[in-house]
């Protein structure tokens, strides 16, 4: 998890991949949840499918957000557009750690 965060801080999305079975460990872990072998951070395909989305009015957390599935992992991302539909293809445009210390994954619809 620590290494994942370090990369995220620099805007890089790197997911621990099992050095034995090759599957992604998500949430990030040094240990593969499938075969318990060690993992190593790798770049993954960050185009995925928007499963569901809605909008938040919580103070400091305003905006459109949704659950995205990509490369076999799921995460909650944010969007700067309301032109969204469940099942559409989206890609991660930016990621990092916000001023409040939480992770952010910013997605956008793909043009295709």
Partner 1 sequence: MRRVAISSWATSKFAKDSRMPLLELACEPCAEILKNSVPRKEIDAVLFSSCATDQYSSTIISEMLGMHPKVSHRIDNLCNSGTNAVASAFAMIASGLCDSALVLGAEKADSPGNKLLWDITRGSFIFPVHWAAIFAKAHMRKYGTTEEQMAKVSVKNHKNAAKNPQALFKKEVTLSEVMNSKKIAEPIKLLDCSASCDGASAVLLVSEEKAKNLDNPVWINGIGQQTNSASFANATNDLTTIEAAKRAARYAFEMSQTKPSKIDVAELHDAFTILEILAYEDLGFAEKGGGGKFVDQQEIAINPRGGIIGCGHPVGTTGVAQVTEVASQLAGKAGKRQVKGCKTGLVQNLAAAGSSATVIIMGA
Pairwise CA distance, residues 6 & 33, whole Å: 21
In angstroms, the first-to-last Cα distance of the chain is: 33
Pairwise CA distance, residues 68 & 92, whole Å: 10
Pairwise CA distance, residues 54 & 1, whole Å: 28
Nearer to partner 1, 20 or 56 (CB): 56
Q: Which residues bind partner 1 (CB under 8 A)?
A: 1, 4-5, 26-28, 51-58, 61, 65-67, 73-78, 86, 98, 100, 102-105
Nearer to partner 1, 97 or 111 (CB): 97
Pairwise CA distance, residues 28 & 22, whole Å: 14
Q: How far is the CB of 20 from partner 1 (least distance, A)?
A: 20
Q: How far is the CB of 105 from partner 1 (least distance, A)?
A: 5
Q: How far is the CB of 103 from partner 1 (least distance, A)?
A: 5
């Amino acid at each position: 998890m620590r290494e994942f965060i370090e990369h995220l801080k620099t805007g890089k999305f790197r997911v621990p991949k099992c050095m034995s079975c090759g599957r992604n460990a998500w949430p990030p872990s040094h240990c593969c949840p499938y075969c318990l072998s060690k993992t190593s951070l790798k770049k993954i395909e960050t185009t995925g499918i928007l499963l569901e989305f809605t909008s938040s009015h919580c103070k400091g957390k305003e905006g459109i957000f949704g659950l995205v599935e990509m490369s076999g992992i799921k995460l909650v991302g944010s969007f700067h557009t309301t032109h969204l539909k469940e099942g559409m293809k989206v890609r991660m445009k930016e990621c990092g750690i916000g001023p409040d210390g939480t992770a952010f994954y910013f997605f956008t619809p793909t043009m295709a």
